[in-house]
Structure 1
Amino acid sequence: MPVDIWLNAPLAESASRAAELRALGVDGVFTFEGAHDVFMPLTLAATADVDLMTNVAMAFPRSPMHLAHTAWDLQSLSGGRFRLGLGSQIRPHIERRYGSVWSEPVERMRDTVLAVQAILRAWQHGERLDYRGRFWQHTLMTPQFDPGPNPCGVPPVLVGALGPRMTEMAAEVADGLLVMPFNTERHFRERTLAAVDKGLAGSERPFEIIVEAIVAMGDSEERVAGARLAVRNLLAFYGSTPAYRPVLEVEGWADLQPELNSLSKQGRWRDMAGLIDDSMVDALTVSGSPADCARRIRTRFGDSVSRVCCYFPGYQVADAEIAGLVAALHS
């Protein structure tokens, strides 16, 4: 199973860190929309012999033309190893942090994906650009702004999704699905895969499913315990968000979401983490030694996904531990 690792390094060290991860056996690196730009580290890392992916870039504040140009250039820089992963975020962040527009997120994402794909096809195949969607219209492409066919091919466009409608839409129009990290095996198998099947509706076109796993890993009991403690903060943050309630609901924990949400509005982050018990950590993450984590990833997702993104939030993981995890997933 191919393995992608979060490119967690200072910007100036992005290229060297990507090369180090490649030397550990890692197949690819990914970035997400956090405290820094999502594309810049991948631009620097393109010199390393690794796959590159945004997991995810926020779609709604960006024009499809901007997204297409960036994806085109990263595909060229990396020699054809780039995936454009797009996500919707939630309304408060889109409106209040990005100062952008939020409405009908599923249909807006559909329109964005189709617009980006239309632009990429126009460049690659010389088609006339004439995309007219509900939210985006792209009808002008003069030679001065057309990069021409990409010798590395068209970069795939993937969608990050959790809910059934967004997941189904991704299966209808995108090249792949990025399964959000706040997930359990039961939710993934009962709801995510069902929505994918509905969206594909018997289609035999290539469709990639990439899962992101929250990993609490260590090479000793003490290190595993520290990692499990660290990931509770992230789980509490995710669990406070109404959009993630369906994951808690399927496990019988739906009442926890409004309680976490109330505490978040009071800034009581430590109290929130205290509500995440061991059974929740077990269900929402994979934890243990590198070999244990690899085995649990395979059990939970291995028969349904094409590759896995491993995320180590809030704690330091040793390179030797990463190498052990990757080797176990490759074997």
Structure 2
Amino acid sequence: MPVDLWLNAPLAESATRAARLRDLGVDGVFTFEGAHDVFAPLTLAATAGTDIMTNVAMAFPRSPMHLAHTAWDLQALSGGRFRLGLGSQIRPHIEKRYGSVWSEPVERMRDTVLAVQAILRAWQHGERLDYRGRFWQHTLMPPQFDPGPNPFGAPPVLVGALGPRMTAMAAEVADGLLVMPFNTERHFRERTLAAVGKGRGDSTRPFEIIVEAIVAMGDTDEELATARRAVRNLLAFYGSTPAYRPVLEVEGWADLQPELNLLSKQGRWREMAGLIDDTMVDALTVSGTPAACAAQIRTRFGDTAARVCCYFPGYQVSDDAIAALVTALHS
């Protein structure tokens, strides 16, 4: 199974770190919207010889034209190794952090994906640009603004999704699905795959499922305990968000979400992590030695996912451990 890792490095070291991960056997690197720009590190890493991907870039604050131009250039710079992964975020962040518009997220995301795809087709195939959607209209493309065909083809457009409507929409119109990391095997198989099937119908259009796994990994008891403490903090943060309640609901933990949410509003972060027990950690993450983590990933996702993004939140992982995980997943 191909493996992607978070490109977690200072901006100036992005290319060096991507090359190092390539040498460890990693197939690709991804970025997400955190404390830094999502595209800049990939621009530096694009020539490292690995696949590059946004997982994810926030779609709503950006114009489809901006997204298309950035994706086009990264596709060319990387030699055809770029995937444009888009996400919706939640309303408070879109309105209060980005200062943008939030409404009808599924339909707005559908419109954004179709608009980006229409722009990419116009450039790649010389089609007249005439996209008229609910939220976006793109009908002007003078020759001086048309980059012309990309020698590596148009980059794929993927959507990050959790809920059934967003997931089904992604399966219907996007080139792939990015499965959110706060997930369990039961939720993935019972709800995510069901929504993908609904969106795909009898379509034969190429489509890939890329999963992201939160990994608590260590070779010693001490390393593993440190990793599990770190992922508990992240799980508590995710679990406090109403959008993630369906994952907890499937496992019978729905009542935990409002409790975590209340504690988050009071800033009681340590108490939140204390509510995430070992059973929850085991269900929501993969945990153990590199070999054990690889085995869990293959069991949960190996029969359905095209590749896996591994995320090590809040703790240090050695390059030797990364190499061992990748080797196990490739074998």
TM-score by length of 1: 1.00
Residue of structure 1 in register with 2:16 after alignment: 16
Alignment of 1:206-245 (within 5 A): 206-245=206-245
Residue of structure 2 in register with 1:185 after alignment: 185
Equivalent position amino acid for 2:298 in 1 = R
Equivalent position amino acid for 1:42 in 2 = L
Residue of structure 2 in register with 1:265 after alignment: 265
Measured after TM superposition, the shift of residue 68 of structure 1 is 0.1
Measured after TM superposition, the shift of residue 220 of structure 1 is 1.1
Residue of structure 2 in register with 1:6 after alignment: 6
Measured after TM superposition, the shift of residue 158 of structure 1 is 0.1
Residue of structure 2 in register with 1:113 after alignment: 113
Measured after TM superposition, the shift of residue 190 of structure 1 is 0.1
Measured after TM superposition, the shift of residue 24 of structure 1 is 0.2
C-alpha distance in 2, partners of 1:258/1:63?
34
Residue of structure 2 in register with 1:321 after alignment: 321
TM-score by length of 2: 1.00
Equivalent position amino acid for 2:259 in 1 = E
SS in 1 for 2:212: strand
Measured after TM superposition, the shift of residue 39 of structure 1 is 0.2
C-alpha distance in 2, partners of 1:221/1:22?
28
Alignment of 1:299-318 (within 5 A): 299-318=299-318
Equivalent position amino acid for 2:121 in 1 = R
Equivalent position amino acid for 1:39 in 2 = F
Residue of structure 1 in register with 2:76 after alignment: 76
Measured after TM superposition, the shift of residue 327 of structure 1 is 0.1
Q: Please, which runs of 5 or more residues in structure 1 have no aligned partner?
A: none
Residue of structure 2 in register with 1:169 after alignment: 169
Q: How many residues are matched? A: 331
Confirm or deny that 1:56 pairs with 2:56: yes
SS in 1 for 2:219: coil
Residue of structure 2 in register with 1:288 after alignment: 288
Residue of structure 2 in register with 1:32 after alignment: 32
C-alpha distance in 2, partners of 1:268/1:155?
43
Measured after TM superposition, the shift of residue 185 of structure 1 is 0.1
Measured after TM superposition, the shift of residue 27 of structure 1 is 0.2
SS in 1 for 2:216: strand
Residue of structure 1 in register with 2:196 after alignment: 196
Q: What stretches of structure 1 move > 4 A for 4+ residues in a row?
A: none
Residue of structure 2 in register with 1:86 after alignment: 86
Residue of structure 1 in register with 2:122 after alignment: 122
C-alpha distance in 1, partners of 2:119/2:98?
24
Which is further off, 48-57 or 215-224? 215-224
Measured after TM superposition, the shift of residue 44 of structure 1 is 0.2
C-alpha distance in 2, partners of 1:271/1:220?
26
Q: Please, which runs of 5 or more residues in structure 2 have no aligned partner?
A: none
Which is further off, 110-119 or 217-226? 217-226
SS in 2 for 1:129: coil
Residue of structure 1 in register with 2:96 after alignment: 96
Equivalent position amino acid for 2:281 in 1 = V
C-alpha distance in 2, partners of 1:125/1:304?
32
SS in 2 for 1:123: helix
Residue of structure 2 in register with 1:66 after alignment: 66
Which is further off, 201-210 or 98-107? 201-210
C-alpha distance in 2, partners of 1:149/1:300?
39
The CA deviation string for residues 162-195 of structure 1, in whole angstroms up to 9 with x for no partner, is 0000000000000000000000000000000000
SS in 1 for 2:182: coil
